[in-house]
């Protein structure tokens, strides 16, 4: 990088983009080394290369799942694993969404308003819209099936084996994500068709 004020500006921009994510910083430095020859880099070169840094948020994974975005959800899951996120936290987030779906489903079946805890968990227009789309399409047996799957996956991330599930916790999380997408995608988003998840993927 250039020295002086320009170099400081470039370093500040780089640090702001990766926000303390050391893996992302390392990957971006590798990308810069591949894109440009050895020597000083201009701010413009750094900006264009780093502008689209992909950082993954465990809570946004649930949003992608509920939105039926299977490719994005799997990409985020791989990203979380690569960044060293704890499998137990990823599972907790997915399991919380499943439990929230059950609470909303139960409340609707009883003619009760949305539970306060669910409302907080589903805060934001996008997330609320996902719950509104998904819940009516879920049957009680499907919700029970997803809760059971989350319980099995909970054992996997804690080191317990299951004869019908992969031994690797992240493979188990992938299966849980695929199961969620498959069963929540039955209700298409406005202007979009149903998301089809290959059943063979569930055998991974």
* Same-domain status, 69 and 46: no
Among residues 182, 153, 21, the alpha carbon closest in space to that of 89 is found at 153
Number of folded domains that form the chain: 2
How confident is the model over 150-172, as pLDDT tens digits? 999 999 999 999 999 999 999 99
* Same-domain status, 107 and 138: yes
When mean pLDDT is compared across 22-31, 107-116, 182-191, the lowest value belongs to 182-191
CATH number at residue 138: 1.20.272.10
Domain range enclosing 125: 58-203
How confident is the model over 75-125, as pLDDT tens digits? 889 888 987 888 988 998 899 889 888 888 888 777 776 554 454 444 455
* Same-domain status, 28 and 125: no
pTM higher than the cut 0.75: no
Buried b (16+ CB within 10 A) or exposed e, 177-186: bbbbbbbbbb
* Same-domain status, 111 and 198: yes
Q: What is the sign of the dihedral through the CA atoms of 157, 162, 165 and 168?
A: positive
* Same-domain status, 36 and 64: no
* Same-domain status, 40 and 134: no
* Same-domain status, 13 and 84: no
pLDDT of residue 17 exceeding 70, the answer is no
């Amino acid at each position: 990088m250039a020295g002086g004020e320009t170099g400081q500006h470039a370093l500040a921009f780089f640090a702001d983009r990766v926000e303390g994510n050391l893996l992302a910083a390392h990957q971006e430095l590798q990308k810069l080394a591949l894109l440009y020859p050895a020597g000083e880099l201009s701010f413009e070169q750094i900006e264009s290369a780093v502008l689209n840094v992909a950082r993954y948020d465990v809570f946004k994974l649930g949003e992608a799942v509920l939105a039926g975005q299977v490719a994005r959800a799997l990409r985020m899951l791989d990203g979380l694993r690569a960044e060293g996120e704890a499998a137990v936290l990823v599972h907790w987030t997915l399991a919380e969404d499943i439990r929230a779906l059950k609470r909303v489903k139960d409340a609707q079946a009883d003619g009760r308003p949305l539970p306060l805890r669910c409302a907080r968990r589903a805060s934001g227009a996008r997330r609320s819209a996902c719950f509104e789309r998904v819940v009516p399409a879920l049957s009680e047996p499907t919700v029970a099936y997803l809760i059971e799957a989350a319980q099995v996956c909970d054992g996997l991330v804690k080191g317990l084996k299951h004869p019908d599930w992969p031994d690797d916790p992240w493979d188990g999380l992938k299966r849980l994500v695929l199961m969620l997408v498959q069963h929540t995608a039955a209700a298409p988003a406005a202007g979009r068709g149903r998301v089809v998840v290959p059943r063979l993927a569930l055998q991974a």
